[in-house]
Amino acid sequence: MAPDVRRPVVDLTEAEARRALPLKWGTVPDDVIPAWVAEMDYAVDPVVLEAVQRALADGVTGYPLDHYPELGEAYAGWAGRHFGWAPDAAAVRAVVDVTGGVRLAIDVLSGPEGVVFPTPGYNAQHRLAGITGRAEHLLEVPASAERAEIDLDRLDRLLADGAQTLILNQPHNPWGRAFTRAELEGIRDVVLRHGARVVCDEIFAPLVLPGAEHVSYLAIDGTHDHAVAVVSASKAFNTAGLKCAQLVVPSAADRARLDEEPMSRNDSYSALGVVAALAAYDHGDPWLASLVERLDQQRSLLGSLLATHLPEVRMRPLEATYLAWLDASAYGHDDAAAVALERGRVRLSDGASYAPGSTGHVRLNIATSPDRLTEIVERLAKAWT
């Protein structure tokens, strides 16, 4: 079989984006540029789109199957190609989305005590501990840290005080970090010391940028008895609305516990989402390579724009994702996102939703066109300075 030819990333026009991305673009006035929710202003990979269109033409709009062995095989093959490590295909289960998978894993597999949540942390996963009937313990990372790292001593104390589960974003949203193997080994050692569990959200694994690498927590020796990973093609291929992520469960005993649960524990993934995931994993590599190249260019462009227009903004190194974590506090605005919207007509994600009580921080989505990113930063400069 001939190798796939690289497929380009195509920028959506504003009109196309408003049709395709109703949450990101459809909830802001016409004069506002949205750079908040984690969706990309790019057309869907044609191979994925065509697979979904074929399925729709065939009338695939019914209930999904209880289990898709081919999904596990596709993800295992994809992970092996990209990360040099792959789970057993039998370890993979379909779930509705990553946050739903995290919740399912905690509900079924975790002990009844508290959940450790590093902060700043993905805002949709704040309060998951409470939803699952457990106390939430925030593991705060100082805003002043140049390169965000898990405080292992603090994690050790929280687990010693009774917490039983760590939610780990790897790569991390909103820090933009790809944790190293040594860092993950350190986390493993602390977790093993206390007999705790790790639920690892790895949705941004496909989007590690040049200069860093993704190491799955499950690729670390000694993790399979206490950890699961939640993965998905949806963030990299812009298919979140199709609703299909995967829970990777290496322990046979854990899989048996999950499989014994009633359907209502894990029911809302879709057959079309499975179709999209299979197409992405089996045939999406050429488009993904173009996407990572584009995001690397956007990362460089953002650095140059900030140096020119907003030199007092501090940005942690962006190693993965398309989400930049910015500290704009030097410009004197406690709620920098509100000022950006009011004065600059740019919608950003407020940093306080990721780190309650923090001020001056925002999360900026760079997955757009170079021209639009340039306009965003120019508008922020007018708003903040």
Q: Is the pLDDT confidence value at 144 over 80?
A: no
Contact residues for 178 (Cβ-Cβ < 8 A; gap 6+):
170, 171, 172, 208, 212, 213, 214, 215, 319, 320
Helix (H) or strand (E) run with residue 94 in it: strand 92-95
85-102 burial: b if 16+ Cβ within 10 Å, else e: ebbeeebbbbbbbbbbbb
Q: What are the Cα distances from residue 166, in Å, to 44, 98, 110, 286, 343?
A: 33, 15, 10, 35, 39
Number of CB atoms found within 10 A of residue 194's CB: 17
Least confident of 141-150, 155-164, 296-305, 367-376: 141-150
Predicted pLDDT of residue 250? 98
First to last CA, the chain: 56
Pairing mode, strands 136-140 and 115-119: parallel
Q: Which of 175, 139, 117 is nearest to 327 (CA)?
A: 175
**Nearest by Cα to 171 from 322, 368, 293, 292:** 322
CA dihedral sign, ordered 129, 106, 349, 169: positive
In the chain, CATH 3.90.1150.10 sits at: 14-46+285-384
Predicted confidence (pLDDT) per residue in 209-268, tens digit: 999 999 999 999 999 999 999 999 999 999 999 999 999 999 999 999 999 999 888 878
Structure tokens at 298: 């956007």
pLDDT at 143: 64
Percent of the chain exceeding pLDDT 70 equals: 98
pLDDT tens digits for 152-203?
A: 999 999 999 999 999 999 999 999 999 999 999 999 999 999 999 999 999 9
Intervals of CATH 3.40.640.10 along the chain: 62-282
Instruction: Report the pLDDT averaged over residues 122-146.
Output: 88
User: Which pLDDT value is given to residue 2?
Assistant: 41
Residue 121 in this model has a pLDDT that exceeds 90: yes
pLDDT digits (tens, 9 = 90+) for 253-294: 999 999 999 988 887 899 999 999 999 999 999 999 999 999
> Which pLDDT value is given to residue 269?
95
**What letter does residue 171 receive in the DSSP assignment?**
S
If you write DSSP's letter for every residue of 180-245 in order, what string do you get?
Answer: -HHHHHHHHHHHHHHT-EEEEE-TTGGGBPTT-----GGGSTT-TTTEEEEE-SHHHHT-GGG--E
Q: Output the pLDDT for position 1.
A: 35
- Candidates 368, 376, 295, 280; CA nearest to 52 is 280
- Assess whether pLDDT exceeds 60 at residue 37: yes
pLDDT, tens only, 344-356:
999 999 999 999 9
Q: CATH classification of 14-46+285-384, choosing from 3.90.1150.10, 3.40.50.720, 1.10.20.10, 3.40.50.800?
A: 3.90.1150.10
Confidence of residue 4 (pLDDT cuts 50, 70, 90): low
Q: What is the mean pLDDT of the chain?
A: 96
Fold of 62-282: Aspartate Aminotransferase; domain 2 (3.40.640)
